[in-house]
Structures are given as C-alpha cells and as structure tokens.
C-alpha cells in the first residue's frame, strides 16, 4: 500500500442498467452504437439480462467496457431454483453486479440484509457490487431520507467492512430515489448531492476517510444527456446508473460525453 495520504480523484463511472430489455439484434446495435464514445477517461459498464452475458462479453472483448448482471444469489450453489451464483458470473468474465435495485426490493421483497449478503459474496468473489439505495416519495415527504438510506446502507457497510485493508474492498453505491426512476422527474443536482454527501459521511464515520474518499457513489433516476452534466458536476457524484437512456446508443453516448466533462 502506498504511504501517501493524497487521494486520487475518483474516475467517473457511467453504468447502463438494461433491466428486462433486449434481444440479440438490439443488444448488438446498442453496443456497437456507443463504443466509439468510450475512452479511458470515463469507466463504462452495462448490465444485461443473464441470458445475454455471452453475447455481451463477446461484443465487449478488449473494448474497455465492463459488463455485469442485474442480480446475484447470496448462495454458492444448490437447490435455489432460478438463482445465479457468483462463481457462475465469474465464468462469464463478469466484474460488476447490481445488488438491491429498488425493483428487486419492491417486486422480490429483498430486505437490506439480503442485499448486504449478496454484496458480501460478490466482493468475496472479486466482483464489484453496485449497491442501490434510495427512498420512496412518501419517505422523502415524511423527512425519512437519511433514516431510509442508513437502514439500507449500514448492513452493507458492516458486512463488507472485513474487506477494507486487505485490498478486496470494491464497493460502488448507487443512490436512486425511487420517485425519480423511470418517471422523467430527476432529483435536482442539489438534492442528489445532499444525499451523496450524507452517504460519504456515513462511509467516513464507519470505515474512515480513505474508504470514503475512494468509494464511487453514482446517481440514478431519469438521467439523460440533457441533465447529466449538471448532476455529474457535483462534488460527491461520481457518475450515473442509467436506465431508459442506456437503451439508446445516442443517449448513452451523450451521457458518457457529459461524464467526460
Ligand atoms: P431511469 O434512468 O429509466 O430512470 O432508471 C434508473 C434506474 O433504475 C437505473 O438502475
């Protein structure tokens, strides 16, 4: 480990969550359509449905774009119908995985502890978990943003803290207010920055400043080429987790450009 305490600036990450969208033809057109925009100034990754991992891996070979799955099991193997393990993702060359997306929490009743267990097994398997957190509109209106984020994040930080110091800590956090997902209503840059700063302060309090300063925190929720620049300009916003706009190579390219600054 380096002796210096100087922090490197965090490289922006633009991650595309395709959700349950795609086909062999549209995946290929999408990837070939944004690859020209990729360079080493911005990290780019895509999260496709499981069946397309082989195709996406092939299209992205040596292209400097990471790819991953949208979920992973906390179990290693066995009688868990429908689940996919970390070791299986490893076999497909997956380096990042989404964990705890609000759609998983909402439609599949994933608790914050279950999400934390997934994050731990991913990290243990050398795959970077992108852990999604975010409040509903009702929770925001009730003044519960900080409490909700803490309740989602703390189990992850507590369980993953064992990886700090042994070089395996590789968490990415995505703040995705539920009310901004797929609605066209984005959090204002100030609203997003406020929550990102709170998340970083929590990392700082629980794991120290080196971890807090090096951990990337993405914003997600109706990010488009037209609003990405002002969101990404905020000091604690290290890129975006993109849904709808990640399905258009033009829009995804525009967001990568915005992240380049
Ligand atoms: P939208 O960009 O479509 O709002 O989706 C955000 C999201 O859920 C990414 O994971």
Q: Is residue 135 part of a domain?
A: yes
Q: Is residue 172 part of a domain?
A: yes
Which residue lies with its CA nearest to atom 5 of ligand 1?
Answer: 243
Q: Is residue 254 part of a domain?
A: no
Q: Which domain holds residue 115?
A: 13-221+230-246
Q: Is residue 1 part of a domain?
A: no
The phi and psi torsions of 46 (rounded to 5 degrees) equal: -130, 145
The Å distance, Cα 244 to ligand 1 centre, comes to 6
Q: Is residue 197 part of a domain?
A: yes
pLDDT above 80 (res 2): no
Q: Is residue 8 part of a domain?
A: no
**CATH code assigned at 189:** 3.20.20.70
Residues with a catalytic annotation lie at: 101, 176
Q: Does pTM surpass 0.75? A: yes
pLDDT score of 167: 83
Which residue lies with its CA nearest to atom 2 of ligand 1?
Answer: 243
Domain count, the chain: 1
* pLDDT one-digit tens code per residue, 101-152: 999 999 999 999 999 999 999 999 999 999 999 999 999 999 999 999 999 9
The Å distance, Cα 241 to ligand 1 centre, comes to 7
The Å distance, Cα 222 to ligand 1 centre, comes to 6
pLDDT score of 5: 45
Q: Is residue 259 part of a domain?
A: no
Helix H, strand E, coil C: the string for the chain is CCCCCCCCCCCCEEEEECCCCCCHHHHHHHHHHHHHHCCCCCEEEEECCHHHHHHHHHHCCCCCCEEEECCCCCCCCCCCCCCCCHHHHHHCCCCEEEECCHHHHHHCCCCHHHHHHHHHHHHHCCCEEEEEECCCHHHHHCCCHHHHHHHHHHHHHHHHHHHCCCCCCCCEEEECCHHHCCCCCCCCHHHHHHHHHHHHHHHHHHHCHHHHHHCEEEEECCCCHHHHHHHHCCCCCCEEEECHHHHCHHHHHHHHHHHHC
Pocket of ligand 1 (CB under 6 A): 17, 101, 176, 181-182, 220-223, 241-245
Q: Is residue 256 part of a domain?
A: no
């Amino acid at each position: 480990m380096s002796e210096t305490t100087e922090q490197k600036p965090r490289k922006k990450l633009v991650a595309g969550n395709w959700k349950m969208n795609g086909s062999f033809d549209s995946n290929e057109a999408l990837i070939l359509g944004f690859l020209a925009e990729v360079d080493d100034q911005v990290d780019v990754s895509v999260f496709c449905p499981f069946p397309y991992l082989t195709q996406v891996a092939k299209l992205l070979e040596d292209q400097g774009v990471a790819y991953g799955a949208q979920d992973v099991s906390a179990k290693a193997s066995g009688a868990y119908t429908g689940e996919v393990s970390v070791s299986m993702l490893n076999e497909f060359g997956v380096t990042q995985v989404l964990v705890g997306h609000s759609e998983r929490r909402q439609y599949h009743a994933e608790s914050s502890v279950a999400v934390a267990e997934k994050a731990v097994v991913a990290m243990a398997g050398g795959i970077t978990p992108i852990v999604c957190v975010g409040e509903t509109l009702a929770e925001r209106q009730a003044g519960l943003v900080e409490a909700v984020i803490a309740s989602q994040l703390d189990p992850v930080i507590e369980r993953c803290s064992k990886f700090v110091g042994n070089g395996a800590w590789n968490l990415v956090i995505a703040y995705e207010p539920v009310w901004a997902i797929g609605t066209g209503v984005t959090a204002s840059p100030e609203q997003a920055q406020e929550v990102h700063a709170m998340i970083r302060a929590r990392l700082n309090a629980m794991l120290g400043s080196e971890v807090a300063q090096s951990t990337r925190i993405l914003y997600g929720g109706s990010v488009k080429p037209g609003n990405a620049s002002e969101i990404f300009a905020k000091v604690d916003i290290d890129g975006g987790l993109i849904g709808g706009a990640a399905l258009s190579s033009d829009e995804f390219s525009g967001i990568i450009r915005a992240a380049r600054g």
